[in-house]
Amino acid sequence: MSNWQTLSSVQTVTLDADLNNMPIEKISVIKIDTEGYEYEVLIGARKILRKFQPSVLVEVFGVYNLIKVESLLRSLGYNYAVALDGFDIRNKSRRISNFRRASNYLFTHSSKVID
């Protein structure tokens, strides 16, 4: 059996729980690349997203996950800013590039402006 087929248990913790007791004054950007678990990571970071309103650079697997991620971020006051590759959020049937399985998107909070 090769290594990639070996199952392992991995302890997880949300960003909100992990950073709860740390004296952090500012978070500017969060980068998420979790191979299909982007939505779950964002669910576990809602307090951070509300408090710090960082830009979110997220690699999203598939249109279904993109719809969930976009919906959650919009509910938290985020705007779609840039599709770096992959599906255009405004027209999910149109691809911006021929990127394979995942696409990168940048979201900014509505209170922030990107120059």
pTM: 0.77
Domains and CATH numbers, the chain: 12-17+26-109 (3.40.50.150)
pLDDT at 28: 93
Q: What rounded mean pLDDT belongs to the chain?
A: 82
- Three-class DSSP category at 93: strand
Mean pLDDT value of segment 23-50: 94
Q: How far is it, in rounded angstroms, from Cα 80 to Cα 77?
A: 10
Torsion of CA 61, 90, 31, 21, to 10 degrees: -110
| Segment among 29-43, 50-64, 71-85 with least mean pLDDT | 71-85
Residue among 51, 110, 59 at smallest CA distance from 80: 110
- Three-class DSSP category at 18: helix
